[in-house]
Amino acid sequence: MNKNFDLLIFDWDGTLMDSTAAIANSIIAACVDMGLPAPSFAQASHIIGLGLDEAIATLLPDMPVADYAAFTARYRHHFLGQDHLLPLFDGVAQAIPTLHAQGYWVTVATGKSRRGLDRALAQSQLGAYFHATRCADELNSKPHPAMILDIMDYCVVQPERTLMIGDTSHDLLMAQNAGVASVGVSYGAHSAVSLQAYSPLYVADSFNDLAQWLSEHA
């Protein structure tokens, strides 16, 4: 099979796992717990994909850094109460093993913590199919290119053979900053219009749509 790419880098939340609502609602609930004005669902969704400290700084710029730990604890209280119930999007459980078997380097770059991603990989039973995973508490948060650059270095793949796939502008800007192509998905946190601003090769409206595009173009 002739391939245009060797390395596929997937975001996790909102791209492979249907977790956008759970994350946004947990952020809103943490704000309420802390006695802060609750952001709208759209505002809470916009910061998905960033590392948690970066997300707090973006959403709550007046919050003292000393309060970050308390906010994080409240967020995790709400999110961890439901994360074991969060499903993969339809088609993910079949597509990821298929892409692995087809010889792609299949990887993840996520705003999740290492502990959170490892838990999600175990629950989804997909961990064995990813050659490398990088998290926001290990390297610079999106949209800094560090996670993509580190994965490319680990897999020994050049930028022109690398494709980033994600549901947020943070993912696609990270791809631009790393000098790699991207594909957006509009079924997660950010709209198709906002994703198109970063010139992705394609914007998929479902994971099965994405899988079909990958089979024809990746």
What angle is formed at CA 11 by the lines to CA 8 and CA 14, rounded to 5 degrees?
A: 135
Does the CA dihedral 15-122-136-98 come out positive or negative? negative
Q: Which domains does the chain have, with CATH numbers?
A: 7-18+88-217 (3.40.50.1000), 20-84 (1.10.150)
| Global confidence as pTM | 0.92
Half-sphere exposure of 42 (CA within 13 A, CB side): 2
35: alpha, beta or left, given left = phi > 0 and alpha = psi -120 to 50? left
| pLDDT tens digit sequence for 155-204 | 999 999 999 999 999 999 999 999 999 999 999 999 999 999 999 999 99
Look at residue 85 in the predicted model and tell me its pLDDT.
84
| pLDDT tens digit sequence for 102-123 | 999 999 999 999 999 999 999 9
Beta carbons of 106 and 163 less than 8 angstroms apart: no
Find the helix or strand (DSSP H, E) in which 79 lies. Answer: helix 68-80
Residues whose CB is less than 8 angstroms from the CB of residue 150 and which lie 6 or more positions away in sequence, other chains included: 134, 139
Backbone angles phi, psi at 43, to 5 degrees: -65, -45
